Amino acid sequence: MTSTVPQALTRTAEGSALQAVLLDMDGTLVDTEGFWWDAEREAFAALGHVLDESWRDVVVGGPMTRSAAFLIEATGADITVPELTVLLNDHFEARISRGVPLMPGAARLLAELAEHRVPTALVSASHRRIIDEIVRSLGPEHFALTVAGDEVARTKPYPDPYLIAARGLGADPARCAVVEDTATGVAAAEAAGCRVVAVPSVAPIAAVDSRVVVGSLEDVDLAFLRTLITRAN
């Protein structure tokens, strides 16, 4: 977990019940969910295996160890989970080194949160080496802290990453708005007690009473995120 902006920017936004915004990375801020699937296909092709397209929904949004274990079992590949995670990170990092496309609305939302001095954290199941590379494209100044999947004992779908982020920002999880693109991430945020807006990327996510689902980050702004909190309290 790293802090990347001055302490002054971590103060609670005045005049709002919203205390912090916690953002997922892959598929939420950056259009990289497809990059992960491509990295997985490339890694297994080198091992002599072809991945079934239906497995994509199984591995999306989850911790790398879970995805790696599933794919090894599904294919019967002769490789260990630690060995595969290194390969996947290598393939993925090669792809993002050529540029990272932002999701529509991501740059505008980050700029608005920074302008209004809303404490913001990046919370991802990706490993630190990947997060640090992508944050260079997003702008490290936009995040008071970042939480990586390989730095927590239990990553998504467990609530730990979001609880750690809220605590790091001095915020009540119930007054944190989370933006996620996968069911795994949504489950983690909701288990932490946060208010969630889902922006599905690969697989659909159902709307329920405690969760809002939108089609794009273009539909999300600070006023919208504040409404999530005030409506719940």
Q: DSSP string covering 197-212, please? A: EE--SSS----BTTEE
166 close to 13: Cβ distance less than 8 angstroms: no
Q: How far is CA 118 from the centre of its chain?
A: 18
**Positive or negative, the Cα torsion across 191, 218, 63, 124?**
negative
Task: Record the tokens describing residue 196, joined without a space.
Answer: 């969630």
pTM for this structure? Answer: 0.80
Q: What is the four-CA torsion angle of 222, 158, 186, 44, rounded to 10 degrees?
A: 120
- Do 144 and 5 contact (CB within 8 A), yes or no? yes
The answer to whether residue 2 scores a pLDDT higher than 50 is no
Give the pLDDT score at 1: 45
Bridge partners, 145 (sequence order): 3, 121
- Identify the CA nearest to 125 among candidates 85, 96, 95: 85
Peptide bond into 200 cis (omega under 30): no
pLDDT given at position 233: 66
Does residue 228 surpass a pLDDT of 50?
yes
Residue-averaged pLDDT of the chain: 89
Task: Determine the Cα–Cα distance for residues 1 and 99; give it in Å rounded to an integer.
Answer: 24
Tell me: pLDDT of 229 over 80.
yes
pLDDT of residue 128: 94
Alpha-carbon gap, residue 167 to 178, rounded angstroms: 14
Picking from 39, 27, 43, 38, the residue whose alpha carbon sits closest to that of residue 156 is 27
Give mean pLDDT, residues 151-161: 95
pLDDT for the residue numbered 140: 96
Query: Which neighbouring-strand residues pair with 85?
Result: none
* Span 41-77, pLDDT tens digits: 999 999 999 999 989 888 876 778 888 999 999 999 9
Mean local confidence (pLDDT), 184-196: 96
